[in-house]
Structure 1
């Protein structure tokens, strides 16, 4: 009774309070501002609130999921008013769960929800399931943050929840002594701890208490990092009033951000907590969506998303669709358009569409051009473009052709024309060369090769190839376009190829490339819309450096490719554009010629 009266007194005097036996507090930084844009959801006998991105929310797109937990004595609306994550990023759906009583069952086995048998871990699991049933949530992109006692609860999630979080953060909370003694993190995760060194409520240096002791935050971050299998030595970085204690390895980063002189608060003069946490989540996320990138849900049942990078949306006229194909290393994704897309975007709307397993698109068990056709058509529908010009690079003309000729494709009527850049020659002799080395070797190796890759044995060779590709790309870009090249995006996408799942996707695509080619051998190319073909003479280099026994086959490949390309262009009313002394990567070396070809298609 004495504790209860004391609690009421503190609330009435609007001072920091001690709520329940664990001594957590009410937020000292709350304002009277009423939150807007929250949707209350009832879940059995509990509730939570959903806040969709304040700007540009689209029900067709997919989002990351962020759970934000209020402190003791607060309600979910207080947390939303204080943190407002939905205003800081367009990439997250933010959920503000409501505790059943005044605080969370944080794992200390010492407070009111513990005594009442409230299972908040199961509640959170149910919330996540419920949100995923109502919204498009990107697989593997689950985040959590808590303030004060809510931060202590996020540590309980990290130690005891069956959920797999991409990252967790706590603000104004060290760690309870009880949880620290039995925390065993099975699902390792990234973690950030933000704490003011002058916190008088949940002290930075911890406190001794028979029922609710706290260990110092410095000790807590070391313990948590160890539980996350990070064995590195702490890295200390100081700037102004902030000290960062960082533990990291190749997989995870755990960090304590100590705000010198900071109290028990969400807001600090030297640290914008909301923006800094979003930045941390974005950094450790595997889906590093920039301003132009979105994920579109094309299959609700399988939860499959397609990565689309869109630029130049202010322009009118037909939209340009960019489809990537293989380079000599069989790498194929939106990195190849890091120069061409911004150039096209100066005058056109332009969308790069990634196949499954490429960029940020969902993985596929058996990735191929043929299997992606329905997803391409669905994506084009979701983009809601009335007129299209498709620009395909290298073997992506297989995808363009299969889509155009599929009886199930619904948006072919929107097609104004196509530009094929160094397309695969869909004739028997050329296809036999494409299906030769290394395709046949990958197919013969099969699952043995996949297992070998999954064990990390090809990661270094992948890195070596990426280094070579970047160096080569630098030499190809004309001087007048060097400033236009988006190297950060190029590096972001190309470096993701080192991920094991991306290496496996590439291997399976090479295996399935054989069957893609069989589907289009001697194909009747649709000539109802113009097809312009840009034909470089990159084969000349292969011919010059080939062993004598292979020269005749390579010469025939080049000759029939040029003749076939010329015939397709003439029969469809497009242009045949031969380029001499050119590299296969014309997307970097000859962007002017591609821009002219697009302009010519548009004028028809």
Structure 2
């Protein structure tokens, strides 16, 4: 009997013994086509034939073909199957962010890079197979750039290390469960692109021992030695730090600013996927989220439009009836992302299905030099069609009524969309005097110097100043939120969006939006209000504070304030909407008076 066959039979025999003798942990029966757990296999699991091989793909609930997903490839153990792994790992049931591929080896084992098994002897190129699977997925689905992950169990974990050593440039992170490392692979491993790596291993594993194995053909180095080697190859030269997650779970961590490698040792853990005190699948997903470049907040996703990906955050999906769509506009510091809806959206989601959309470069929407209120109008239409939203209430804060006005002018008669009503909160006054006022300083300065500003932004020239302004804004918001709504305020979301403002892409997007603001105003200046769509205008008197503190152009500002009141009343009257004045109110009505906005929406939606 040759050594490779002996290797296969030994592993299978020990696994069968563990399955038969142990009942307190979930064990993968690598020889079975069906999973050895009672959880049902995801009904979305589809077999995809590829050349002379195949793989299974699972999509999350509420899959949307226009949404961009991360990609996770999962590799089964010796004698196992993709279907069996899907019943155990269940990644697609734990996260809405991934398309999950459950790959299938051509032989009983993967070609793990040890040059010691049947897959190697038969010349099976599993590395090329993985590349073909990734290419096939990218040709048929929308995958976020740089967001490809892999994880293997048992002998599949050894194969994931082969990918780490030979195809690291393909992956954002790789994980290995219940395996140390092949000694032959450890002697040849070269990681060309530093890559995030996670190992999870039970110290009492008798199939692929935690402390390694001496053998003339398929020797294993220990898991501690493996993580030390991999960290070194990933250019992580500082000593490991050790953390005790619980009495029986220890984490050995190697870390730099850009790469994380860690070994999670389960004291007394055997050759299994999950442990009584440790959820392997969830821990892996949390690790991948930690290293992702797209750490999207809860409820957020990225939807593809013809102009690029756009961040959308959806809450209240269980509610029926028309949807509420929230658009953000400028505050005094010209920030215009969905942080402004961190309170209003959770409040509205108690009764409505609510979508908030970030334009190009804002939030996690990738930067686009053409980002503008005009561009967002077309993006909005495509997003609503993608979400299958046929009837909406459109809420626009501050200058985003430009997008609302452009949208209704272009799409109000479209058979796919019905605009039930609109609520404009402190809208831009679209009259000649006010438009000229908006185009003044600092807008005209940004418009003139936008090209010259770009390298200064990229050199972080404005980062410190922006940080201070954002800190001051946050204090204002904290003081505004009414006590009765404090439990609804989603500070995690607010801070996640604010953090994005300080990225270089966020700073460039803000500057570009200001520079394009005059052309946005020109685009909407001559569009007539559609009197068939009720428009409620919520009008705070925030202008008075600016007038009181002004040293010049006071007459211009007073006229702006006066014509704004008159214009807003006329719009509400002509469209059969409501005019709601708010005295001694701040511009960020979305935080100070969310109940007023909800009441205005309720008036028409009910």
**Fold in common (TM above 0.5):** yes
1:47 lines up with 2:54 in the alignment: yes
Alignment of 1:99-248 (within 5 A): 99-161=105-167, 163-208=169-214, 211-230=217-236, 233-238=239-244, 239-248=246-255
Distance 1:572 1:494 in 2: 36
Offset at 1:418? 0.7
**CA spacing shift, 1:289–1:212, aligned 2, 3 Å:** same
Q: Which residue of 541, 562, 566 maps to 1:563?
A: 566
Find 1:441's aligned residue among 440, 445, 456: 445
Measured against aligned partners, the alpha-carbon deviations of 1:521-575 in whole angstroms (never above 9, x if no partner) come to: 354222221111112122222222222x332332232222222222222222222
- Check whether the contact 1:356–1:362 (CA below 8 A) recurs between aligned residues: yes
Kindly state the Cα deviation for residue 406 of structure 1 after the two structures are TM-superposed. 1.6
Query: Given that residues 156 and 179 in structure 1 are in contact (C-alpha distance below 8 angstroms), is that contact kept between their aligned partners in structure 2?
Result: yes
1:71 to 77, 80, 96: 77
Q: 2:260 aligns with which of 253, 257, 276?
A: 253
Paired position in structure 2 for 1:331: 335
Is the CA contact 1:10–1:16 (under 8 Å) kept in the aligned structure 2? no
* Conserved? CA contact 1:380–1:411, under 8 Å: no
SS in 1 for 2:486: helix
Deviations 1:391-414 (A, max 9, x none): 101111111111111269735851
1:289-304 matched pairs, under 5 angstroms: 289=296, 292-299=299-306, 304=308
Of 285, 288, 300, which residue of structure 2 is paired with 1:278? 285
Q: Tell me, in whole angstroms, the C-alpha distance in 1 between the residues paired with 2:153 and 2:432.
A: 65
Closer, same or farther in 2 for the Cα pair 1:109/1:510, shift >3 Å?
farther
CA distance in 2 between counterparts of 1:32 and 1:276 reads 21
The match for 2:455 among 423, 448, 451 is 451
Where does structure 1 lack aligned partners over 5 or more consecutive residues?
18-25
Give secondary structure in 1 for the equivalent of 2:254: strand
2:375 is aligned to 371
Residue pair 1:27, 1:148 contacting (<8 A) in 2 also:
no
Shift of 1:294: 3.9
CA 1:181–1:510 in structure 2 vs 1: closer, same or farther (change >3 Å)?
farther
Which of 75, 79, 89 in structure 2 is aligned with 1:83? Answer: 89
Residue 487 of structure 1: aligned partner: 491
TM-score normalised by L of structure 1: 0.89
SS at match of 2:487: helix
In the alignment, the residues of structure 2 paired with residue 444 and residue 115 of structure 1 have an alpha-carbon distance, to the nearest angstrom, of 67
| Structure 1 residue 456: Cα displacement | 4.1
Equivalent in the alignment of 2:592: 589
Question: Given the alignment, which residue of 530, 550, 562 partners 1:526?
Answer: 530
Alignment match, 1:575: 578
Over aligned residues, Cα RMSD in angstroms? 2.9
**Structure 1 residues 470 and 36: CA distance shift in structure 2, 3 A:** closer
Aligned residues: 590
Query: CA–CA distance in 2 between the matches of 1:531 and 1:51?
Result: 44
Bigger mean CA deviation after superposition, 88-97 or 99-108: 99-108
Q: Retained in 1: the 8 A contact 2:398–2:426?
A: yes
Distance 1:99 1:423, change over 3 A: same
Q: Which runs of 5+ in 2 are unaligned?
A: 18-26
Distance, in Å, in 2 between the alignment partners of 1:57 and 1:176 is 38
Contact 2:148 2:170 in 1 (8 A): yes
1:7-36 alpha-carbon deviations (Å, 9 max, x no partner)? 67647856479xxxxxxxx95687545845
CA-CA distance at 1:213 after TM superposition: 4.5
The CA distance in 2 between the partners of 1:6 and 1:165, in whole Å, is 33
Q: How many angstroms apart in 2 are the aligned matches of 1:298 and 1:400?
A: 18
Instruction: Output aligned runs, 1:531-550, within 5 Å.
Output: 531-547=535-551, 549-550=552-553
| In structure 2, distance between residues paired with 1:553 and 1:458 | 30
Distance 1:164 1:451 in 2: 31
User: Kindly tell me: are residues 489 and 413 of structure 1, through their superposed partners in 2, closer, same or farther at Cα, counting changes over 3 Å?
Assistant: closer
Counterpart in 1 of 2:478? 474
- 1:22 is matched with which residue? none
**Any idea what the Cα deviations from partners look like across 1:190-245, whole Å, max 9, x if unmatched?**
32211112233333233455554444333433443444454555332112100012
Q: CA deviation at 1:362?
A: 4.4
The alignment status of 1:517 with 2:521, answered yes or no, reads yes
Q: What CA distance in whole angstroms lies between the structure 2 residues aligned with 1:230 and 1:504?
A: 32
- Alignment of 1:553 with 2:560, yes or no, is no
Q: Once the 2 structures are TM-superposed, how far is the Cα of residue 170 of structure 1 from its aligned partner?
A: 1.1
Matched, 1:269 2:276: yes
> How much has 1:584 moved relative to structure 2?
0.9
Contact 1:236 1:246 in 2 (8 A): yes
